[in-house]
Amino acid sequence: MRTQVAIIGAGPAGLLLGQLLHRAGIAAVVLERQSGDYVLGRIRAGLLEQVTTELLIEAAAGARLQREGLTHGGLELLFAGARHRIDMAGLTGGRHVTVYGQTEMTRDLMDARAAAGLTTVYEAADVSIHDFDGSSPKVRYYKDGAEHEITCDFIAGCDGYHGVCRASVPASAIRTYEKVYPFGWLGVLADVPPLSDELVYVNSERGFALCSMRSSTRSRYYLQCPLTDRAEDWSDQAFWGELHKRLDPAGRERLVTGPSIEKSIAPLRSFVAEPMRFGKLFLAGDAAHIVPPTGAKGLNLASSDVKYLSAALIEHYRDKSDAGLGTYSAKCLARVWRAERFSWWFTSLMHRFPENGEFGQKIQEAELGYLVNSRAASLAMAENYVGLPLDFGTS
């Protein structure tokens, strides 16, 4: 098989890239080692920056998002027993975020790709990439007991942290940076109305909590927990009881509980691989970087990678210029490190670190007090939370 771009990974990054390239008349094949049902069964983030929503609309896959997405112009910070609202829209000239589950975004992109009759190979086993440092890259995989080969101009590695693409790069050509946090997030999905109309981030002496949602009838809640905990050891009753203790009085009164649909524990880590280009291979999304979920940057960073990469590939084919391909890694990494900084700061501010003791808790509360009472500090948080413009810092 011959194509212009081989995309490894059929998560939202790979599917979004494929759709943007298709809209520009560039041929791409998407390979995924899991089944389509498995991909749709993964419970992931659900907070989209405007950059991401605008890309979905550009890719002709944003109609349902525009109908069903929940627009948020602010968020609440709960600390020292009281809530304080950050008016993101008011501070940033109307910019906002949209609550729309990553699963729904993936489904929309799958449907758009299927409607266009584009090739996606699911359950592609033993995927391997070859000659990406030369002029004729190749991708090999097994399907239905036979080996297949794709020749292409470029390979896009959108296959996540554990994927084959970054692992195929010689160790001498790549440098990685990592920070592992000493706690995880215990998450519960339940068909109950949200605690608030906007997200509530909680700093309490018992640990962090997040009150989020997927719709007006489905909520997503998180609790900071030790890495030694197991999700199956937390009953629904124990989860709701602990969340109740971390809320303010008004939150406790409004909290609606119910049986969990899904329950899992996610470890928190920061990770960056540099560079993000190796010859004809380009990494995007979790294949190159991971952020703690506190700032909801993971999916949005993947989307900005895809925006840079799709624009560079379109420039290559339409204008016969490789300028965008040449600056891809540097552009992405500048944005990645800004998001890593924000996610690290927000994680450090909102979570309990036992080694810091009561002094650390008081310092957090003092910084949060400054944050909500200083317009400059609130603006800095708001503009990072809603997402910096794609061209920020490039001039």
Statement: residue 63 has pLDDT above 80: yes
Radius of gyration of the chain (CA): 21
106-to-10, 100, 128, 188 alpha-carbon distances in Å: 9, 11, 24, 21
Q: Does the domain formed by 5-72+96-177+269-351 have CATH 3.30.70.100?
A: no
- Distance from C-alpha of 1 to C-alpha of 62, rounded to nearest angstrom: 30
Statement: residue 164 has pLDDT above 90: yes
Statement: residue 394 has pLDDT above 80: no
How large a percentage of the chain has pLDDT more than 70? Answer: 99
What residues pair up with 156 in beta bridges, in sequence order? 7, 282
Per-residue pLDDT at 43: 66
Statement: residue 45 has pLDDT above 80: no
- Distance from C-alpha of 265 to C-alpha of 284, rounded to nearest angstrom: 25
The pLDDT mean for the chain works out to: 95
Q: What is the mean pLDDT of residues 305-333?
A: 97
Statement: residue 393 has pLDDT above 80: no
Q: What is the mean pLDDT of residues 88-93?
A: 96
Q: What is the mean pLDDT of residues 127-143?
A: 95
Statement: residue 94 has pLDDT above 60: yes
Catalytic residue numbers read 72, 201, 293, 297, 385
Q: What is the mean pLDDT of residues 184-195?
A: 96
Least confident piece of the model among 16-20, 36-40, 183-187, 281-285: 36-40
Q: Indicate the angle between helix axes 298-319 and 50-58, nearest 10 degrees.
A: 40
Q: What is the mean pLDDT of residues 280-307?
A: 96
Statement: residue 395 has pLDDT above 60: no
Residue appearing with tokens 């944050």: 371
Statement: residue 42 has pLDDT above 80: no
**Residues ≥6 apart with Cβ < 8 Å to 50:** 95, 96, 97, 98, 386, 387
Output helix, strand, coil percentages for the chain, rounded to the nearest 5.
40, 25, 30
**Residues ≥6 apart with Cβ < 8 Å to 346:** 292, 294, 295, 381
Q: What is the mean pLDDT of residues 122-148?
A: 95
Which band of pLDDT confidence, cut at 50, 70 and 90, is reported for residue 40?
confident
Statement: residue 14 has pLDDT above 70: yes
Q: State the pTM of this model.
A: 0.94
Q: Give first-to-last CA distance, the chain, whole Å.
A: 41
Per-residue pLDDT at 391: 83
